[in-house]
Every structure is written in structure tokens, then in C-alpha cells.
Structure 1
């Protein structure tokens, strides 16, 4: 378990300290008491507010996530990487924060779930890096309890650097006054956001819609940024000391001369930027293709089918017989294939969507995958393969029924219990687990080279 001791330092905005040790930059972690409170909305609005003022903004996402980062990347104008003291590791997180501190005027980190949820939690991340916390509280149906909730968030567990709170969904200026008056003296008032359906970010079963599915996203962000501009939170936060850290390691070119074909379209969109960076750092050339629209695969040496929403596009995927045949041929030719979650779903014989309709898909794996109404699995996963041990996470609403015996199972780091099944058919490795490639680049290179 990483060292979760806090490293808290006072700082002066915009000034540089000992170059060998740290940089000082305005930064904070945006948290909440639970999911659905408006963390992503507020983080994106703050990034957009400062970006349109001409500042360089870098945003990170605490914990595993693909959808929130797409919104945050659109708002900040830069890729959004994950920080997770277990999945990415403290050293990886420190290197990415240090790089951001060297180039940004503002660093924002969006938390995951509730501030203290999980092990490690968003609060643990804030303590580890000395980040002040902004808690977004959906306050539309409360008054003085707002202060009690803020008090509990700030005081639970080991001390945080500092905390301020933003009231979301406020009904009126008088309501905002009541909420502000309820706060203890040691918790700062960041302001209030009124209810505004025109600015809200729509969602579905796995979370928010992605940025490219919202053609009016900039208009929504402008409304939100305007609403924050006159609030206390609209000003740059106090600078904090971001410690210098060794850069990410230089990787051997184990994939030099190899082309990795990567599925990327509306059905296959769950891609960590760090995973793509890792493949390129290993020397690979990346060739993106659309299983929905393309009839053939690019010339390639390996395939990666990441997660996404094949269930929303199952009829279209099933109708693309050219692509399904190409996938079957690639498997028959022993091309290394890595399939994660939605990518794996597309490789079964049958996919049953949320409406109960069955669709014939690639058939590389025997059996049927079926969408469910309830969440089937969520959390960190560790995968021990002959190629090496990798870290990642799982998050899905479907279940797979197959006569194929699992090659192995992932483990849940929290308690060592059995996690997701891993299937192997020839050179295909498939699982519900989403892998974080930087957790073991050499294992990824071996997987995509077909070396076991």
C-alpha cells in the first residue's frame, strides 16, 4: 500500500521554489460527498473559465475513468491523465503532476465517487500531494445540514490541507445565504451554482456522455463558467508546492517496427491517453480503425479492442460483416489480440442489448454476452499473466455466459478475492478488466508481440 502521509506546504501563487525540489502552482482537488453531485461539471467549468482567460490548465482524474476525462479534456484543451495511488501508483502520479506543474498556470484534479470512498480514496490522494480540496455539495434540498455535511467531509480521517465548499443546485440568493451561514469558520465558502438544466451534462448507464456526443458542449461550458466567474471559486486558488519527481522511465523499443491496430469509434472509445503514450514509447506505430464503419483492418501486427458501448451499436456492428470476417481472419492467422470489456463483448457469438434483442457478432469466443439492468462489477483489478502482472479496473453492466473455461482470474486488491475471468483462445486474450498499460509496459509489449 502506498504511503498516504500528507505533505502539506504553504505557497505563493506563481513563484518558483528550489528548482531541484519543487514548483509552486495554483492547484486543488474537486471532490463531493457522493457521485452525481456535480464534480465533473464544476471541474470542467473551472478549466474552461481559466482557459478562456488565456491560462494553461492541466486537469487530472482521480481513479479509473474514461468519460469524465473526455469532458475535462475538451474544457482544458489537453489530455486528461488518471491519478490513482494504487492503479497508476504514487510514482507515476508524482511524475505526471510534476510535469504539469512545469507547464501549467492551474492544476485541477477531479475526485472519484465521494471524497472518502475507496481505498485509497480521493482524500488520500489530496493528502499525499498536499492538495487543497473543493467539495461540491448538491444542496437543493437542504439548509443548515449543508454545514454539518461540510464539517464531516473536512474532519473525517487524517487532516486535509484545507477545504472550501461550493453549493450546487441552489434555489435562490436567500438559500445560498443560509448555506453559507451554516459553515464552520475553518471551511471556506466557494460560492453557489443555481439550477440550470441548459448547462447540465447529460448521462447514461456508464456515466456522462462523451464530449464528442455533445455538439453544444462549449455553450454549456460558457454558461457554467459565467456562473462561476463572479464567485469566490472563480479566482485562481492558492498555489501549492508540487514536489519534483523523476520523469516517467524511458522504455525499451520492444514494439519497434510493429503496427498496433486500435479500435476507436462510437462503440469503442475507452482509451487512457497514458496507454496510447506507452505503446508509442515502446516504439509501436498506432493505426486506428472503426469496427462500425470499416470493412477491413489496417495492415498490422496486433489488435487492441478497448472498451466502450458495443451494446448501443450492436445492430450496426452485426451488420458490418466485412469487419467481423476480418476479425475472424486475424484470429485464425494468430495475430495477437487484446480485448477489454466492450472489446471482448464484440468477440462473443451473440450480444444481447438492453432491449433484449440478440445480435450475431464476431464469434471468436463461444457464448453470449447479455446486458443487465444493474451494475455487474466495479473496482480495481490485478491481472497476473505469464507476460507479467498488470493493474486496472472493471466497470460493466453485462454478463457473459460461455462454455469456455477461464484461463485465469484477476484478483481484487482490496481483499484478494477472485475478480474477472480472463479468456484465452489462441493469440487472443480477453477480459472485462480495463488495463493500465504503464503499470507494466513490458507485459503489454509481450502481449501484443504474442510472446508468452
Structure 2
């Protein structure tokens, strides 16, 4: 099923994770996926299922990738849950497009606070806006009590569409901050919150619904493309990957792709004071360096090691938050300026509003790498721009898209890359040859 909503902030992640946890506790095999680009919601879904959570987007990851992952999940699991993105019909492609393409039954989650009869109008509109959309029903979130739940159910034209209501509950609320939910690994009682949500959901018709009442994902071998072998362009090379609370925006599929390219991955934690592992290339992923700026500014040994690594002509790919740590200065939301690692000249300043959002592609020679951008900061630097990303289907243009800075084999950008979209282009990020004017490997 696809857990969707009329908008962001309705409780999709809570319901999707609670449903996954409920069935996993009952001994069923559950896999969860996240529609669209997202690093944070998958943390909660992974905690609920005990399995990696991959993104699905008909543009960024591609239909063939989505089909292959759903095929594998259908072959090995009892329940497949896909959490939607934003509102059901938002974006191109949308969560509704994904549901329609693969026959995923839609569960609509609606925040029903301060609402009664309009709940029925929203539910009817979501179900009927696109004729033929697979549909499971509607669940009310943040319900005030039994009387309120009764009013919401009575507002539905078809009572059979009622999947129940979840009460307002601090015990299973998922905390938020800028960029989205707080990661499950940063909260000591994360599993307890999911268990509380699962217990509440168990009292609803959705929680009690038999799995055989849901549509079945049916694939034959011919309809699921086999993975084409990837040339080992990174064979024999070690890629050091920063991974901790400051650098946590890592798609599991990107790590899988590095392995498929032949690379050995060595993780290290800047916040824990880890030394830079012996490596041929470094990946500094996105995350929350602004929340840990003071600690990162003290990582002088790592800073010096990265400088030596870059001076030796070895590759560094710094992505969004990873790039932020490489500038001279990071100014946090309270106006405090922190000295950072100084491999790039200039400063990064946190803003109150989003500075970049949406799908992007990076053309490296004739190769096109897909991904997205999502950040609250802006950077000021005299460093020249080597390349720029572009919106899907557009061409790179001066002053449009995210800048890609290149200094020898150091590359940095706000662009978040989805490596499987073009393994050869992804390999380029970790090789010493310049990106600009790249030729086929």
C-alpha cells in the first residue's frame, strides 16, 4: 500500500512506521520505501522494519529501479509499504503516479484537528480526483476522542472507506526541526514511540485489516529488469565516507552503488574524532553541520588530513552539508560565525527559509547524474563555478541551478546525487580526473 496525505505534516511517517512496526511485531516480513527524495523519514521506516529503506521516484530513481525493488520486496515479504511525499498529487511525478503505475492501494492520512464534515470532502476528493486510482481508504489523525471520530466517519459518503482514527498522543509524536523529522537514531526512546503508535493503530480497522484484503504486487520475471552488470570503475579504490549526526544524509542505494563499482567503503565519524582512514577518495555527505559547527571547528587533525589528501590530487566529493564544512566560515542561525575546515574560500550562512528545493540533474560531459537539492543555507565564495546542475530536462545555464565547485579533485555542491541513476557519472566524483570536459571511462 501507499500511505499518502493531502499535504505534508499530516502524519504519513507516523502511520507508515506504525503499520510496519505493528506487522513486524506479529512476525511478518515487512519492507518499506519512501516516495521521492528524502533522508529523514527513512530512518523511522528502517527502525520499524529492520531493513534498509530505499527511495522511489519515477524521475530520480527511474521506473525500472522502482520496479526492480518492488519485485524483490514482493518476492520476499508479506507486506510492502510505500510512504508518499508531500500531498498525494504534488510534484511531477507524484505519489499518485507511483501508486497508479504499480497498483499500490492508497491509504489517505488526514490531520483531522478542528475538522468534521470537511473530512468527508477531502477524502472524497483524494479518492476521485484521478479516476481508477487504487484505493484502500482513509485514516483520521490527531482525533480528539470517540465523538470526534464518529463525526469524521459519518462525514464519509462510503463508511467502508473508514480505516479508523489515531488520537493525539505525545507518546508517539515524532519530533521535527528544519529540513524535516529528527532522525530516529538521535532519540533515545525512538522504538518506544513506534511501539506506542503501533499499539494505537492496532485498535483501528487499518491495524486489524487482513493482508489478503490488500492488492497483491504481481510481477513475473520478464517484467522485472535484471540488474545490468556495472563495470568496476572504482575497483581497488577505498572511499572514506563520513557518517555521524553531522553527516547522515546517505542513501543506502548510493553505498550499494559504490560497492557495485568495486570500491571498498571505510566509514569514519568526524564528531567522534576519528582520523581520516587511508583512502583514495573521500565522500562528505549532507546532514546537519550547522547543529554541530562548534564541534566540527575543533576537528583540526581531520581538517589538516583532508587538506593533505586534496593537495595530493585525491578526490573529495562534498555534498550539501559536506560542502558547508569545507568553507572558511559557517554562520549558524543565531548569527555565530564558526571557523570551518577552509578547503574552499568563503562562508556559508544559515537562512530562515529554504534556499533550494527540487529535482536536479548534473551533466558531466555526456553523462547525466540525477538527484535533488534541499537546503536552508547560502554560500558566498570567490571560487569559480565549474559546472551547474539543471532542472529535469533543462540544460545547464549561467546563474541557474546549483553550483559545482572544483579545485583539483575536490568537488563540492549543494546537489545530492542519486548514484544508481548513472554509475559511470557517480564514479567520476571519486576519480582524480576533472569533471569539466570529462570523457567516457
Please state if 1:183 is matched with 2:184.
no
Structure 2 match to 1:388: 367
Aligned runs of 1:14-413 on 2, under 5 Å? 28-185=1-158, 188-234=161-207, 235=209, 236=211, 237-244=213-220, 245-294=224-273, 296-386=275-365, 388-413=367-392
CA drift of 1:181 comes to 1.1
Give the Å deviation of 1:157: 3.1
Distance 1:267 1:177, change over 3 A: same
Match of 1:424 among 402, 406, 409: 406
Kindly state the Cα deviation for residue 183 of structure 1 after the two structures are TM-superposed. Answer: 1.0
Contact 2:351 2:376 in 1 (8 A): yes
Greater alpha carbon shift after TM alignment, 314-323 vs 230-239: 230-239
Aligned position for 1:7: none
| Contact 2:409/2:431 (8 A) holds in 1 | no
How big is each residue's C-alpha offset from its partner over 1:383-426, in whole Å with a ceiling of 9 and x where there is no partner? Answer: 01137210001000000001112112111127667311111111
Deviation string 1:345-364 (CA, Å, 9 cap, x unpaired) is 00111111111111111111
Deviation, structure 1 residue 100? 0.5
TM-aligned CA deviation for residue 158 of structure 1: 4.5
CA contact (8 A) 2:153 2:159 kept: no
Superposed CA offset, 1:263-320 (max 9, x none): 1011000000000000011111100011222352100010111100000000000011
Give TM-score, length-normalised by structure 1.
0.92
Q: How far apart are the structure 1 equivalents of 2:322 and 2:129?
A: 40
Contiguous gaps of at least 5 residues in structure 2: none
- The answer to whether the Cα contact below 8 Å between 2:316 and 2:409 also exists between their aligned partners in 1 is yes
SS of residue paired to 1:316: helix
Contact 2:103 2:215 in 1 (8 A): no
- Picking from 424, 430, 436, the partner of 1:448 is 430
Rounded Cα–Cα distance in structure 2 between residues aligned with 1:50 and 1:196: 21
Look up the match of 1:19: none
Q: Tell me by how many angstroms 1:230 deviates.
A: 2.3
Greater alpha carbon shift after TM alignment, 271-280 vs 352-361? 352-361
Provide the C-alpha distance between the structure 2 equivalents of 1:129 and 1:186, rounded to a whole number of angstroms. 26
CA contact 1:200–1:220 (8 Å) conserved in 2: yes
Q: Distance in 2 between matches of 1:337 and 1:440?
A: 18
Q: After the TM superposition, which of the residue ranges 89-98 and 234-243 deviates more from structure 2? A: 234-243
Deviation at 1:247, TM superposition (A): 2.7
Q: Which residue of 2 aligns with 1:5?
A: none
Q: Contact 1:387 / 1:447 at 8 angstroms: preserved in 2?
A: no
Distance 1:41 1:414 in 2: 34
- SS for the counterpart of 1:419 is coil
Answer yes or no: is the 8 Å Cα contact 2:74–2:217 preserved in 1. Answer: no
The DSSP-based 3-state class of the residue aligned with 2:109 is: strand
Q: Which protein has greater RCO, CA pairs closer than 8 Å, 6+ apart? A: 1
Matched-pair contact (CA < 8 Å) for 1:387–1:446: no
Three-state SS of the structure 1 residue aligned to 2:346 is strand
TM, length-normalised to structure 2: 0.94
Moved over 4 A (4+): 414-417
Query: Does the C-alpha gap of structure 1 residues 213 and 385 become closer, same or farther in structure 2, counting only changes over 3 Å?
Result: same
Alpha-carbon separation, structure 1, partners of 2:243 and 2:341: 17
Matches of 1:159 and 1:414, distance apart in 2: 29
Question: SS at the partner of 2:248?
Answer: strand
Distance 2:377 2:128 in 1: 38
Contact map agreement 1:151 1:187 (CA 8 A) in 2: no
Find 2:418's aligned residue among 436, 443, 449: 436
Q: How many Å apart are 1:138 and its aligned residue?
A: 0.1
Residues 295 and 322, structure 1, Cα contact 8 Å, conserved in 2:
no
RMSD: 1.4
Aligned length: 425
Paired with 1:400 and 1:317, the residues of 2 have a C-alpha distance of: 18
Question: For residues 339 and 187 of structure 1, what CA distance do their matches in structure 2 show?
Answer: 51
